[in-house]
Amino acid sequence: MNLQFLIIDPQNDFANPKGNLFVAGADKDSERLAAMLKRHLDKIDDIHVTLDSHHWVDIAHPVFWVDSKGNHPAPFTTITVDDVQTGKWRTTQPNCQARALNYVQALKTGGRYDLTIWPPHCLIGHYGHNVVDPIAKTLIEWENQLAIVDMVTKGSNPWTEHYSAVQADVPDPEDPSTQLNTRLISTLEDADLIALSGQALSHCVANTIRDIANNFGEANISKMVLIEDTTSPVSGFEALADQFLREMKGRGMRTAKSTEFLV
């Protein structure tokens, strides 16, 4: 059996209580996931780890926007098309205003989330970008078998959010890193069983799994097993996580607890 793991954004900023965007419960999720990986080290054919990878200047970070008084938006502020059109929120660099308006309009047209301003997180080259300790140590144990973890970076384009590891919310035609990651999808298609985990259930996990399923063929969705006690939603967004679980279970995705998977 070809067993592959897809671990979405298991990084310090999400999974360490000191992280800039800590997801409540993610520290314990990481410990459970690490213990589960240890039990199956010799059974795993491939491990894919996605890494949220941002610059300080990002369309979803406070520094990008100002109000009429020059104040930056607080984290978790929502910026809508109307907010940009009326000037409630303007880009800090005036020459970016038209492109930013096009972006929030594209989010709305595509049925994606409204633009959310997040605390700067997973900054490239900073501590928060690193894989959280329990999982990082276990990945090295697996690599000691002369295997190599497939690290998949996403999010470095400052003009679009990139919740999904498969494609950006609004792909940039000039940036291949924002477009559909067909390599990852085709690799996962070769698996007999795909274990899914990571952070956060309401956002990056949900969007990555949806996008894979939408490009996977419905028959392949039954290969996907979400390890339900190794992932948590962002506080306040629990309803999005519940909606995602109902949708994907209805399409054939299975769930299992870390202590029960392949036991």
170-191 pLDDT per residue, tens = 999 999 999 999 999 999 999 9
Q: Where are the alpha helices (DSSP H) in the chain?
A: 12-15, 26-39, 81-85, 97-109, 133-143, 182-189, 206-214, 238-250
Q: Are residues 75 and 160 in the same domain?
A: no
Of the chain, the percentage scoring pLDDT greater than 90 comes to: 96
**Confidence at residue 198, expressed as pLDDT on a 0 to 100 scale:** 98
Point out the domain boundary residue: 94, 116, 138: 116
Residue 214 lies in a domain: yes
Say which CATH number the domain at 157 has: 3.40.50.850
Mean local confidence (pLDDT), 39-59: 97
Q: Are residues 157 and 211 in the same domain?
A: yes
Alpha-carbon distance 233 to 182, whole Å?
27
Q: Are residues 77 and 197 in the same domain?
A: no
**Confidence at residue 122, expressed as pLDDT on a 0 to 100 scale:** 98
Q: Are residues 109 and 132 in the same domain?
A: no
Total tally of structural domains belonging to the chain: 2
**Confidence at residue 112, expressed as pLDDT on a 0 to 100 scale:** 84
Q: Are residues 193 and 146 in the same domain?
A: yes
Bridge pairing between strands 90-91 and 65-66: antiparallel
Other Cβ atoms less than 10 A from the Cβ of 145: the count is 9
Residue 86 lies in a domain: yes
Residue 263 lies in a domain: no
Point out the domain boundary residue: 116, 133, 149: 116
For 204-257, the pLDDT digits (tens) are: 999 999 999 999 988 899 999 999 999 999 999 999 999 999 999 999 999 999
Q: Is 179 exposed, middle or buried (0-12, 13-18, 19+ CB in 10 A)?
A: middle
Q: Are residues 151 and 108 in the same domain?
A: no
Residue 261 lies in a domain: no
**Confidence at residue 111, expressed as pLDDT on a 0 to 100 scale:** 86
Per the prediction, the chain carries an average pLDDT of: 96
Mean local confidence (pLDDT), 111-115: 89
Residue 262 lies in a domain: no
Using an 8 Å Cβ cutoff, are 202 and 241 in contact?
A: yes
**Confidence at residue 169, expressed as pLDDT on a 0 to 100 scale:** 95
Residue 139 lies in a domain: yes
**Residue written as tokens 């059996």?**
1
Mean local confidence (pLDDT), 185-200: 96
For 125-155, the pLDDT digits (tens) are: 999 999 999 999 999 999 999 999 999 999 9
**Confidence at residue 100, expressed as pLDDT on a 0 to 100 scale:** 97
Mean local confidence (pLDDT), 102-122: 94
Residue 208 lies in a domain: yes
> What's the pLDDT band for 32 if we cut at 50, 70, 90?
very high
**Residue 263 pLDDT greater than 80, yes or no:** no
Q: Are residues 206 and 140 in the same domain?
A: yes
Q: Are residues 112 and 128 in the same domain?
A: no
**Residue 123 pLDDT greater than 80, yes or no:** yes
Point out the domain boundary residue: 72, 99, 116: 116
Q: Are residues 141 and 159 in the same domain?
A: yes
Range of the domain at 217: 3-55+122-256
Q: Quick one: angle between helices 206-214 and 182-189, nearest 10?
A: 80
Other Cβ atoms less than 10 A from the Cβ of 100: the count is 20
Q: Are residues 154 and 192 in the same domain?
A: yes
**Confidence at residue 33, expressed as pLDDT on a 0 to 100 scale:** 98
The structure tokens listed for 152 are 């998949």
- Reported as half-sphere exposure (CB side, CA atoms, 13 A), residue 215 has a value of 19
Residue 200 lies in a domain: yes
DSSP tag of 252: T
Q: Are residues 188 and 90 in the same domain?
A: no
Q: Are residues 126 and 15 in the same domain?
A: yes
